[in-house]
Amino acid sequence: MIRRAAALAWCAAAIVLGARFALPDVAARASLPGRLSDQAFWALSERLSEPNGTFHSENFVSNEGRYQSVIPELVTRARQGGVYLGVGPEQNFTYIVALRPSMAFIIDIRRGNLHEHLLYKALIEMSTDRADFLSRLFSRKRPTAVGVHSTVEQLFAAYFPIEPSPALYAQNLAAVLDWLVTRHGFRLRDEDRPGIDHVYKTAFYAEGPNLGYSLLGARGRVGSPNYADLMTMDDGLGTQRAFLTSEASFAIVKSLQLKNLIVPIVGDFSGPSALRSVGDYIREHGATVAAFYVSNVEQYLTPDRVWSRFCANVASMPLDASSTFIRSVRGGAGITRAGASASTNLFTSALGAMQAESRSCGDGRW
């Protein structure tokens, strides 16, 4: 009995000592931050980013006319409240609304995409509602007939006839830069101010609701949806899911922006550090990747060794059976990179199992 009591006492002491020294580390890894400070947000973006790269398009807006079609299945496959990864501009916000992640990282090879997301961040945070946001985004005077109860179709119908205002643009740009630099305290690089100006003026001010995808040196690629189309389309089953569909959807994105939880990163999918560093951050906080919107980037990861690097980067991330790729492929072809060779420009969205697809790629450094 004495030996048993001593053993129990020793175990109790061990548990106390273990809790004393081990629990703080476990607690630190237990969850993602509920909010990032301005300093932490900027430091994280800078630390995880790779050098600026190039692409054949500036991608101010999506050209994927069926990007919502996978959302009904996506919400049954991917984990709610996990970490969302994405690439490119505004379509990420719609997927974020569907998945309600605790945190999101937008990774793009171009720093110009980071500039666009900083612009979005400032405008979304400053705006009281969707109509106010569109007024700021397009530098057009807000119509008196629209408000929080307006449908998304009514919002865009009201903005189409309005001409852009140079004075409003100058006022808005100054407000955006002040919001980022003074309010948030972000230490913008030398190229960031003119980069934000370029995105704002070239795309949203100049084109307004008619803004569509284009290659460098071209405008309005035939067959691509414009901004209004992307916001007013549905998922193919009759449900509109764009982030501007309702005030509630807009509020989801605004809340994450205000908490600094949508972090733009500059990185090559097949690069040496960006994806792996994002994965390390997620793992350190005891979380998993819920979904990774890769658009059609895989078709550009050639030759094969480059694609293999991307696959190994994915394999190094904290994944589970619910972690889901969101892809865009041409002409409804297969969801492998080879499917991108189809001749049609019409994109179809598809889902894939991240863990299963990357299992054979290895998770070691390359």
Please write down the HEC assignment for all residues of 68-117.
CCCHHHHHHHCCCCCEEEECCCCHHHHHHHHHCCCEEEEEECCHHHHHHH
What global pTM score does this model have? 0.87
pLDDT in tens, 270-325: 999 999 999 999 999 999 999 999 999 998 998 878 999 999 999 999 999 999 99
Q: What does the pLDDT average to over 242-259?
A: 98
Rounded to 10 deg, the angle between the 38-48 and 274-284 helix axes is: 140
Of the given ranges (14-28, 29-43, 225-239, 291-305), which has the lowest mean pLDDT?
14-28
Cα–Cα–Cα angle for 305, 311, 316, rounded to 5 degrees: 125
* Distance from C-alpha of 191 to C-alpha of 307, rounded to nearest angstrom: 30
What local confidence, expressed as pLDDT, does residue 112 receive?
97
What local confidence, expressed as pLDDT, does residue 364 receive?
53
Between 152 and 13, the higher pLDDT residue: 152
In a domain, 30, yes or no: no
Q: What value does the mean pLDDT of the chain take?
A: 87
Of the given ranges (153-157, 327-331, 335-339), which has the lowest mean pLDDT?
335-339
In a domain, 22, yes or no: no
What local confidence, expressed as pLDDT, does residue 20 receive?
36
Burial class (CB in 10 A: 0-12, 13-18, 19+), 77: middle
What local confidence, expressed as pLDDT, does residue 337 receive?
37
Q: What does the pLDDT average to over 120-142?
A: 98
In a domain, 217, yes or no: yes
Is it the case that residue 231 has pLDDT exceeding 70? Answer: yes
pLDDT in tens, 175-222: 999 999 999 999 999 999 999 999 999 999 999 999 998 754 445 455
In a domain, 351, yes or no: yes
Q: Which residue has the tokens 């008619």?
A: 210
What local confidence, expressed as pLDDT, does residue 331 receive?
61
Q: Cα separations (Å) of 258 from 120, 124, 126?
A: 12, 9, 10
In a domain, 136, yes or no: yes
Model confidence band, residue 347 (pLDDT cutoffs 50, 70, 90) = confident
Of 74, 160, 159, 88, nearest in space to 117 by CA: 88
Q: What does the pLDDT average to over 354-363?
A: 88
Q: What does the pLDDT average to over 344-349?
A: 70
In a domain, 331, yes or no: yes
Is it the case that residue 27 has pLDDT exceeding 50? Answer: no
Contact of 289 with 82, CB cutoff 8 Å: yes
The range of the structural domain enclosing residue 249 comes to 36-361
Is it the case that residue 86 has pLDDT exceeding 50? Answer: yes
The first and second tokens of residue 298, run together, are 């895989």
Model confidence band, residue 170 (pLDDT cutoffs 50, 70, 90) = very high
What's the distance, CA 363 to chain centroid?
24
Calculate the CA dihedral of residues 47, 173, 183, 130 and round it to 10 degrees: -100
What local confidence, expressed as pLDDT, does residue 363 receive?
58
| Count: domains in the chain | 1
Of 250, 266, 265, 257, nearest in space to 94 by CA: 250
* Distance from C-alpha of 137 to C-alpha of 131, rounded to nearest angstrom: 10
Q: Which residues of 123-147 are buried (b: 16+ CB within 10 A; e: fewer)?
A: bbbbbebbbbbbbbbbbbebbeebe
